[in-house]
Structure formats: C-alpha cells, structure tokens
Chains A and B, each alone.
Chain A
C-alpha cells in the first residue's frame, strides 16, 4: 500500500477528510493551509521590519499559540509526508514537471521559476483576501456547509479555469 505509486483518488480523499477528526477534537479548528504563510512570512518580515508586528493582522498570526503553529507544523509535515511517500514508491520527479514546457510554450527553467513565483504570490494574496484556500474554504468550509466558503470555492474554480484556458497553453 505505502509502496504504491498511486492510490485511488477516493481512498486518498477519505484519508484527507478523516484528518478533520484530530483537527476538530485536538486543535479545535478546521484543516487549513494558507494562514501558515502569514505566520512564517510575517515572522521573517519582522526580522527586517520590527514595525510589521504593530499590524494587528501580523501580530495575531505570528503569536505563539497552538493554532498558529499547529498549521505551520501541518504544512511542514505535508512536505515530509510527500517526501517519504515518494521515497517508498520510487516515484521520483524531474526538477520541473514536463507539462510546463507545453503550458508555457517554453523549456526555460527561468521562465518557469518566474511564473511559479508570480503564481505563488497572487495565490497567497488572493487566499488572504478570501481568508482561506483550497483547504480552509474548500475542504473545511464546504464540509461545514458555509455559504461564504462555497462562494469562494466557486470563484476559485472560475479564476483557475479562466487562467488555465486563456493564459496557459493546452497541456
């Protein structure tokens, strides 16, 4: 099982959904990922600009408490888990997925890195405006029947489909 390269998406989805049990019972929060970027980014920013901590939003996110740092640990654990899974199955990856050459119409790693940086930038800027991402609004918000989260997920797919269709090339 652990040495397989791929699981059924349904099995994997069930495993991810079951993670709501420890999240709600132990941490008393829902699965999420994007606030951890504010916790880590805000902390790093405060080393260069101590005044950043005077912004209430930053102060709330970098505060040493269970919820903030649980989520940082969670996304760190995601990297560890994916690494272990890849090692156990031997599904080694190229430095850049082969789809990017077609999607960007260029084999240049520099172009891909620039697009990845820009994509990451607006991804988090948008997620923070919306107050959640695929995990917080998607997995957790929709499971809780939250109206705002459902609107956010619909907007996310509309923005994603428009960009992948109009900006990227066919993969």
Chain B
C-alpha cells in the first residue's frame, strides 16, 4: 500500500481516536493520576471497554480468516522492566504516549514538554538499543498467546476475555458510577475549590 494512503488513513483514524479520548476524558491528567491513585476508575473503564471490543472484532476477523494476528513476542524481562518504567512515566506525565497528543490538542501546555521529553526518551533508547538488546532485556521467547496455552482456538479465547470484561465492567459501574468521577469541569478533578464552593453554596442557609 502506498505511504500516502497509509498516512491519510492514519490521520482519519487518529481524528476518531482523538475524539473518543477527549469525549471519554481519559486523556485528562486528573483521570490518569486519579486512576493510578486508585481514586478514579474512568481510565480502567475506557481501557477495558476498548480491549473487549477489540477482542470481539479480532475474534470475528481472525475467526473467519480475514486477518492474521500480530502479537508482540513475549520478552518477559523487557516487559517487566520497561512496563515499570513506562508506568512511572505515565504517572509523572499524567499521560500515555497517545494521550499526550490529545492533551496538546485540547490545550494543555505542559503536554508539549511531555512530548519533547518523550521524543528525547525515544532517541536515548535508540542509541542504547544496540547495547541493551544484548543484555537480559533482549532475552525471550516467541509470540505466545493465552488461547494457544489453553489449547483452544483464538476466537473462543477472545470471546471469553470479552465476556469476562463485560462482567467486570458491570460490577465496576455499580460500585463506581462513571458520571460523578468526571468532576464539575470534566477533568477528573473532584476535589477542586470549584467543587468545594458549589458544596458551600448548597449549605449556606437562605435568608
């Protein structure tokens, strides 16, 4: 496929992605840090809903033979070390690599520093990669997926995952309804002076 077409498809898909990230508020630092402090579960809800949908989509597309799966190889040491560092970065940035761009689009100025830091981090890794890939971080196996381990077809495994996620989300929603978690300014900030002042207004007695 031509690069021009791929870029055009990418921009259109990105616009839809950016819309969904902005509307769900999951790009908000207040939502992401709130999730990591286990006070706000919006991020988990969006994430799990997207995983379940992707699993159903791929169960159909792969089950009927339209597409091949493309799982990443299981490099456990790299997955654990990289994942821990990535997670620490997500909390300090209040963003993920994708939502950083949504923050820039929505007008958060600090996200420009996250982006520049991210580009520098990616370049730093690139220079280190020839060395790092020879260490324990480069050790690992093949493209392992759970349904193969269980000896069932992928599509069945994917539908089981989707069903399990639906059950988790129903429980999560009844425990923590989504709307109050967004806050008055839909930024996941439920402890701001704006919130407090509204509470004050309510408790001031009428004359």
Contact = CB atoms under 8 A, between A and B. Distances in A.
Contact of B26 (A12, A33, A89): A12
Contacts of B74: 146-148, 151
Nearest to B8: A73
B38 A161 contact: yes
Q: Give chain B's interface residue range (CB within 8 Å of chain A).
A: 35 or more
A62 to B, nearest CB: 10
A27 B70 CA distance: 12
B142 to A, nearest CB: 10
A128 to B, nearest CB: 4
Contacts of A5: 23, 186
A10 B47 CA distance: 9
Contacts of B20: 7, 12-13, 15-16, 81
Contact of B6 (A52, A70, A76, A171): A70
Given A58-B126, A125-B85, A149-B71, A139 B47 contact: yes
Chain A at the B interface: SS class: helix
Interface in B170-195: 173, 178-179, 182, 186-189, 191-192
A91 B23 CA distance: 10
Given A12-B26, A100-B29, A140-B54, A55 B130 contact: yes
B104 A160 contact: no
Interface in B36-52: 36-39, 42, 45-52
B126 A42 contact: yes
Contacts of B191: 102, 171
B163 interface: no
Interface of A: 2, 4-31, 33-34, 36-38, 40-42, 44-45, 52, 55-58, 61, 64-67, 69-86, 89, 91-100, 102-103, 109, 112-165, 167-168, 170-171
18 contacts: A9-B26, A12-B23, A13-B52, A16-B17, A16-B21, A41-B122, A69-B6, A72-B10, A82-B22, A84-B15, A93-B187, A129-B132, A135-B96, A140-B54, A145-B146, A148-B74, A155-B79, A163-B91
